[in-house]
Amino acid sequence: MAEVLLPALPVMQDRVTVGALTLALLPEQEIVSVRPFKGHFEAVTDTVRKALGVMLSDSFQEETGSGGYAAFRAGHNQWFCRGPEGGNLTARLATLCDGRASVTNQTDSRVRLLLSGGGAAAIAAKLVPVDLHPSGFETGRVALTLAGHIPVVLICREPRLHYEFMVFRSLAQSLFDDIHIAMNGGIPNSERV
Amino acid sequence: MRLTCPHCGPRGLEEFSYRGDATVRRPSLEAPEEDWIAYVYLRDNPCGAHKELWYHGSGCRAWLVVERNTLTHAVHSVNAVSVEDAP
């Protein structure tokens, strides 16, 4: 009997390169959803700030702290906190929040892809209906949106050059293929219709 | 048309679904049948200011109340639904 089921690699290739563009699978991170209960927002924000050095902010920017921790708003009254793998983030936050927030581990639900290189913005713009111009979509800016038909969280790592896609694990291969097709100058999804 | 989602910022119409009139209110269980027929079937088609429910299904997946003008297409406010908005 298998004691541990190791998760399969979410995509068949972990890196593809087309000209100056690269699409790569990013290392796993611990991702935790934090949803403060009614009346406890301030206390939970304070707790997360002390523990991770990041605010639960209402802005569209990801807050980054020391130690590789970061947090961004992932919807109404919901924040995604993330940090290095093996940091036991979920258990720590659950203990610290002490029943004042719903703390749920999302590490296994999401996969991160990084699209890099000159023209990365143009490739990303083929897939998402969000204006990626650096004047509005600057470093750290987060957008919950669709890439084709796939729900993604798009994070700008560096305007025009580096874009991170956070995607459901079961849809990672599809998104990987769609971005790869776009990198090759094709039209994503066209071959499936 | 663009709606400025309170969670996501300005986004195109393709990310949203229209979910109906936000002003209708459920009648009491004892209300006459005419009130229930009006609640279930009858909707106004206002020319001017209107309050609508929209669903941001391709973004933050939140329900929103949009106040807009159906004549000028001006959008006056977009807010997340609150308890007071419950039909």
B85 band by pLDDT with thresholds 50, 70 and 90: confident
- Cβ distance of A144 and B11 shorter than 8 Å: no
Q: Looking only at Cα atoms, what is the longest distance across chain A?
A: 55
Tell whether the model's pLDDT for residue A46 goes beyond 70. yes
Segment (H or E) for A91: helix A89-97
SS3 assignment, position A89:
helix
- Cβ distance of A146 and B61 shorter than 8 Å: no
Predicted pLDDT of residue A5: 66
Q: Give B2-85's CATH code, choosing from 3.40.50.1820, 3.40.50.2300, 3.30.2270.10, 3.40.640.10.
A: 3.30.2270.10
Count CA within 13 A, CB hemisphere, residue A159: 10
Top-level CATH class of A15-27+109-186? Answer: alpha beta
Contact call for residues A141 and A42 (beta carbons, < 8 A): no
B65 band by pLDDT with thresholds 50, 70 and 90: very high
Tell whether the model's pLDDT for residue B69 goes beyond 60. yes
Measure A1 CA to nearest chain B CA, in Å.
40
Question: CATH topology for A29-108?
Answer: Alpha-Beta Plaits (3.30.70)
Instruction: Give the residue extent of every domain in chain A.
Output: 15-27+109-186, 29-108
Burial code (b: 16+ CB inside 10 Å, e: under 16) for B33-51 equals: eeeeeeeeeeeeeeeeebb
A193 band by pLDDT with thresholds 50, 70 and 90: low
Burial code (b: 16+ CB inside 10 Å, e: under 16) for A85-108 equals: eebebbebbbebbeebbebeebbe
Kindly list the residues from chain A whose CB atom is less than 8 angstroms away from the CB atom of residue B62.
75-76
* ipTM greater than 0.90: no
Segment (H or E) for A50: helix A41-52
- Cβ distance of A145 and B11 shorter than 8 Å: yes
Q: Please give the structure tokens belonging to residue A83.
A: 């940090």
Predicted pLDDT of residue A3: 63
Q: Which of these, B23, B26, B24, B27, lies nearest to B49 by C-alpha position?
A: B23
Q: Please give the structure tokens belonging to residue A123.
A: 């490739």
Q: Which of these, A22, A21, A26, A12, lies nearest to A113 by C-alpha position?
A: A26
**Mean pLDDT, residues B55-66:** 95
The residues near A8 (Cβ < 8 Å, ≥ 6 apart) are none
Instruction: Give the residue extent of every domain in chain B.
Output: 2-85
Residues 81-110 of A with CB under 8 A from B: none
Q: CA nearest A149 in B: which residue?
A: B58
Kindly list the distances between the CA atom of residue A58 and the CA atoms of A5, A25, A76, A190, in Å, as whole numbers in the listed order: 38, 28, 10, 37
